[in-house]
Amino acid sequence: MSITSYVGRFAPSPSGPLHFGSLTAALGSYLRAHSLQGQWLVRIEDIDPPREVQGASDNILRTLDAYGLHWHGTALFQHQRHQAYQDKIDQLIASDDAYYCQCTRKMIQANGGVYDGHCGRLQPKLTQGAIRIRNYAKIDRFIDQLQGHVLVDNTFAEEDFMIKRSDGLFAYQLAVVLDDAYQGITEVVRGCDLLEASCRQISLFTQLNATPPDWLHLPLVCAQKGVKLSKQNHAPAIDIIRPQASINAALAFLGQQMVDVDSVEVMLKQAIEQFDLSTIPAQKEIVLTTTNN
């Protein structure tokens, strides 16, 4: 892959404003893409309306602009892609590569906590419920550009996972794979909370005869061990008026040199020039000792 063919992305969900953890993921993916003279895209992952906060999508895009994190092209919204998701599901159902499932979480938990493919063996086949992929690929390992060799539990890797929920909403695993393929993403840079999910996504890429991207999982920003900063636990929004301090804090978190200038554009230009992947801590999480926002 030549450096000019690199395509990266930042894909936040509109469940609240960007916080410091979001910023490290955005900045890390931005610096990686620009240091390789590639494209950096933004995708709003708005496929879960019950979790979305009104106005959050616009707020996220305004915040990225204020931080000088300008994306190539037009931001993609997942709600614009519903027909593409449904078309793929219809194809998978028609070819018997996916099936309806009516097993509840309680039933799965009572069976040891691992889904055993029960509904996929039923005759006649179910015609309603959630939809699961027949997971033929069962990918349980991959190489991460920062974390190295990643191996997940076999039971997780082998499970037939959902691609559409019983409430009619499209599942994240399906949407993210179809969108990464559609946008030509060559490397996914994101937090380690999605490290294991990469195996399911690689499995789905494989079954759809699509080329998986490379993977680069950054350490999670944690308020305490095992507890990442998130919108759900009320992480404070980053400062949209004076972004310089937050940018430097994010650079330091990512093991990069801080930049002592006032212009956001100059800060980012210098940060791109001195970006060094090898200095990012190869850790799954880092606990903050001070509040960075």
Task: Give per-residue pLDDT as tens, 140-157.
Answer: 999 999 999 999 998 899
Q: Is the dihedral of CA 173, 177, 179, 185 positive or negative?
A: positive
Q: What is the pLDDT of residue 231?
A: 64
Q: What is the pLDDT of residue 135?
A: 97
- The response to whether 99 counts as a known ligand-binding position is no
CB 15 within 8 A of CB 231: yes
- The response to whether 285 counts as a known ligand-binding position is no
- The response to whether 103 counts as a known ligand-binding position is yes
CA distance 63 to 15: 14
- The response to whether 9 counts as a known ligand-binding position is yes
80-132 pLDDT, tens digit each: 999 999 999 999 999 999 999 999 999 999 988 889 999 999 999 999 999 99
| pTM given for the model | 0.93
Mean pLDDT by 10 residues, the chain (293 residues): 78 95 97 98 96 95 98 97 98 98 93 92 97 97 98 93 97 98 98 96 97 97 81 80 96 97 96 98 88 44
**Fold identical between 3-79+179-287 and 82-142+154-164?**
yes
Q: What is the pLDDT of residue 292?
A: 43
* Chain centre to alpha carbon of residue 49: 17
Burial readout 24-35 (b: 16 or more C-beta within 10 A, e: otherwise): bbbbbbbbbbbb
Which DSSP string corresponds to 220-280?
A: EEEEETTEE--TTTTPPBPPSS--HHHHHHHHHHTTPPP---S-HHHHHHHHHHT--GGGS
- The response to whether 101 counts as a known ligand-binding position is yes
- The response to whether 245 counts as a known ligand-binding position is no
Superfamily of domain 3-79+179-287: HUPs (3.40.50.620)
Q: What is the pLDDT of residue 4?
A: 62
- The response to whether 13 counts as a known ligand-binding position is yes
Q: What is the pLDDT of residue 58?
A: 97
Q: What is the pLDDT of residue 293?
A: 44
- The response to whether 12 counts as a known ligand-binding position is yes
* Domain range list for the chain: 3-79+179-287, 82-142+154-164
- The response to whether 62 counts as a known ligand-binding position is no
The architecture of the domain spanning 82-142+154-164 is 3-Layer(aba) Sandwich (3.40)
How far CA 17 is from CA of 58, 59, 143, 230, 234, in Å, comes to 9, 6, 32, 10, 10
- The response to whether 115 counts as a known ligand-binding position is yes
Lay out the sheet containing 39-44: strands in order across: 7-10, 39-44, 76-77
- The response to whether 119 counts as a known ligand-binding position is yes
- The response to whether 10 counts as a known ligand-binding position is yes
